[in-house]
Amino acid sequence: MTGGFTAGGPWAIRFPVPGTIKFFAVVRGACWVCIDGHAEPIRFETGDVGLLSARRSFVLSSHPSVAPVDAMMLFSGAGRTTAKIGNGRDFSHIGGHVLLDPTSGGLLADVLPPWIRIQATSPEATNFRWLLDQLVKERAGVLPGAQLASAQLAQLLFIQILRAHLKTSSLVSAGWLRALADPRIAPAIRLMHSDPGRSWHLAELARALAMSRTTFAFHFKAAAGVAPLTYLTEWRMRLAERALREEATAVADVARSLGYTSESAFSNAFKRVTGTSPRAYRSASRASASPSSGRRSERTARSRSRSRRWTNERRRRRPAAGRRRVGRGRARRARPASSWSRSGVDYGAGRDLTSDRGR
């Protein structure tokens, strides 16, 4: 859980663009939610739950006409996760964020709508009431393990929001989430996820679901948006990305674990789906994950700048004998006998020689 706040009287808070999926619930009172890019404000009542997956800032307020204060200022301070506006008697809010797995999380993020609202009056909100009550108790109490319990309850709340969305919305776009919610197609998804290295065939998957190949392929593409074996390839590449990013497993071993008989076949499939080779992806992931990569790039830039200034200064101070006449009075600098300037720029520029590590 991220935190929450209570409010009383006129109030409004502007929250910055979230870097993760954001969810919040109204525990007491009511508020207006104004999302950037959404024309009309949305009224949230007690027990309503919202989920924002789009990278948009938003405002929570007692009324849309109230000028908002910045949430970063309101919650400033080390470890501060709660705030009180006014007397805090009219309104109570709790919120949190969801960190998706880099591998499979992309499948979910791609199919979620920009925002979801589940009203407390809907039948699917029954489970929310108990979860919200428990979250409030865990945050208010000082029981051992309260932080862990809150995190687990927040995860359950997120799952319940998704389930309620699937049941109440008829506009869920084709994709992984819709396929999992389709009882005719979900078993095939689970089979492929459970054994991604197996050489699955369309007829085998169709037979497991008691369908003909044509019927299975039609319903699968309608729900998932892609053909069954295309989905399998994309899922394998998601798993490959995680292995290349988090493990030291050789590329050939990753290929075999995902059902490829050769490293070259796997590399071609990986590049076709991701746009880069497995080795290049691994190198880029390690470079971006290194805490010193930013500092190293900055040092490299400074070193190159010093090298260029030193080279230019030396050229300016070079005696006239180092020049020769060419053509109609044009002067060209003679190349120095030493290769210092080339070495100073190319090799003395702090080039990172560790970027090839692991290839």
Segment 264-280 mean pLDDT: 94
> Is 33 in contact with 14 (CB distance < 8 Å)?
no
Share of the chain above pLDDT 70, in %: 75
- Residue 151: both structure tokens together: 């995190």
248 and 138 together in one domain: no
> Is 49 in contact with 157 (CB distance < 8 Å)?
yes
Which CATH number fits the domain that encloses residue 187? 1.10.10.60
140 and 218 together in one domain: no
Q: Write down the pLDDT at residue 132.
A: 84
The three-state secondary structure class of 285 is helix
159 and 22 together in one domain: yes
Has residue 326 been placed in a domain? no
| Domain assignment of residue 158, given as a range | 3-168
146 and 233 together in one domain: no
> Is 224 in contact with 178 (CB distance < 8 Å)?
yes
Q: Write down the pLDDT at residue 354.
A: 36
251 and 208 together in one domain: yes
State the DSSP code for 11. Answer: -
Q: Write down the pLDDT at residue 254.
A: 95
Q: Write down the pLDDT at residue 42.
A: 92
> Is 189 in contact with 229 (CB distance < 8 Å)?
no
Has residue 350 been placed in a domain? no
Q: Write down the pLDDT at residue 335.
A: 41
Round to whole Å and give the CA distance between 192 and 268.
21
Q: What are phi and psi of 188, to 5 degrees?
A: -70, -40
Has residue 359 been placed in a domain? no
Average pLDDT, the chain: 78
- The residues facing 26 across adjacent strands are 93
279 and 134 together in one domain: no
Has residue 72 been placed in a domain? yes
Strands lying side by side in the sheet with 31-35: 42-44, 31-35, 58-61, 12-15, 69-70
Name the more confident of 131 and 326: 131
Q: Write down the pLDDT at residue 136.
A: 80
Per-residue pLDDT tens over the stretch 209-252: 999 999 999 999 998 889 999 999 999 999 999 899 888 899 99
- Ranges 20-29, 201-210, 329-338: which has the least confidence: 329-338
- Ranges 82-86, 256-260, 293-297, 315-319: which has the least confidence: 293-297
Residue 205 has pLDDT above 70, yes or no: yes
Residue 348 has pLDDT above 50, yes or no: no
Q: What is the pTM of this model?
A: 0.60
60 and 110 together in one domain: yes
Beta strands in the chain (DSSP E): 3-7, 12-15, 21-28, 31-35, 42-44, 49-52, 58-61, 69-70, 82-85, 91-98, 115-118, 323-326, 330-333
- The domain total for the chain is 2
- Residue 155: both structure tokens together: 């995860």
Per-residue pLDDT tens over the stretch 4-40: 889 999 999 999 988 888 888 999 999 999 999 888 8
Alpha-carbon distances of 230 from 56, 188, 210, 221, rounded to whole Å: 32, 13, 21, 10
Round to whole Å and give the CA distance between 133 and 341.
70
For residue 102, name the pLDDT band (cuts at 50, 70, 90).
low
Name the more confident of 293 and 128: 128
Has residue 305 been placed in a domain? no
Has residue 143 been placed in a domain? yes
Q: Write down the pLDDT at residue 305.
A: 45
Closest by Cα among 163, 155, 241 to 196: 241
Has residue 349 been placed in a domain? no
152 and 271 together in one domain: no
27 and 150 together in one domain: yes
Segment 103-107 mean pLDDT: 65
145 and 182 together in one domain: no
Q: What are phi and psi of 153, to 5 degrees?
A: -65, -35
Has residue 330 been placed in a domain? no
> Is 185 in contact with 176 (CB distance < 8 Å)?
no
118 and 251 together in one domain: no
Which CATH number fits the domain that encloses residue 45? 2.60.120.280
> Which domain-ending residue is among 268, 288, 308?
288
Q: Write down the pLDDT at residue 315.
A: 47
Per-residue pLDDT tens over the stretch 167-194: 766 666 777 778 888 889 999 999 999 9
150 and 215 together in one domain: no
Segment 190-206 mean pLDDT: 94
Q: Write down the pLDDT at residue 45.
A: 93
> Which domain-ending residue is among 137, 168, 199?
168
Per-residue pLDDT tens over the stretch 39-60: 889 999 999 998 888 889 999 9
Residue 1 has pLDDT above 90, yes or no: no
> Which domain-ending residue is among 264, 288, 312?
288
> Is 176 in contact with 107 (CB distance < 8 Å)?
yes
